[in-house]
């Protein structure tokens, strides 16, 4: 398995101050998509920056093609609420990996 990170940024400048009802619905679908993938072991971490700049998703997945496919199927990206950029990465340290849930 390989690790990737994708960053998503809102397409609409005022998204953080005043999301539309449609954007909120899409982001709910985005959350559910990531939560399901977390249960399957693909999403290692997902979160949002509190300074309203971007969200991140860290994946453990077969290869870059699968990572890109996953990212492009993300409802937030697919619906053009967010734009995304994908980067290969290697996790060196993580306290999350040591925790027992």
| Tens of pLDDT, residue by residue, the chain (101 residues) | 999 999 999 999 899 889 999 999 999 999 999 999 999 999 999 999 999 889 999 999 999 999 999 999 999 999 999 999 999 999 888 876 555 54
Query: Which CATH fold topology does 2-91 show?
Result: Alpha-Beta Plaits (3.30.70)
Tokens 């397409």 map to which residue? 11
CB atoms within 10 A of CB 24: 10
Ordered by start, the domain boundaries in the chain are 2-91
Tokens 């985005």 map to which residue? 30
């Amino acid at each position: 398995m390989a690790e990737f990170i994708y960053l998503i940024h809102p397409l609409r400048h005022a998204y953080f101050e005043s999301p539309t009802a449609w954007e909120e619905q899409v982001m709910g679908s985005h959350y559910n998509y990531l939560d399901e993938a977390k249960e399957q072991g693909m999403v290692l971490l997902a979160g949002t920056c509190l300074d309203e700049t971007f969200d991140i998703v860290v994946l453990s997945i077969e290869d870059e093609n699968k990572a890109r496919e996953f990212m492009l199927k993300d409802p937030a990206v697919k619906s053009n609420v967010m734009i995304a950029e994908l980067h290969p990465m290697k996790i060196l340290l993580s306290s999350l990996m040591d925790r027992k849930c």
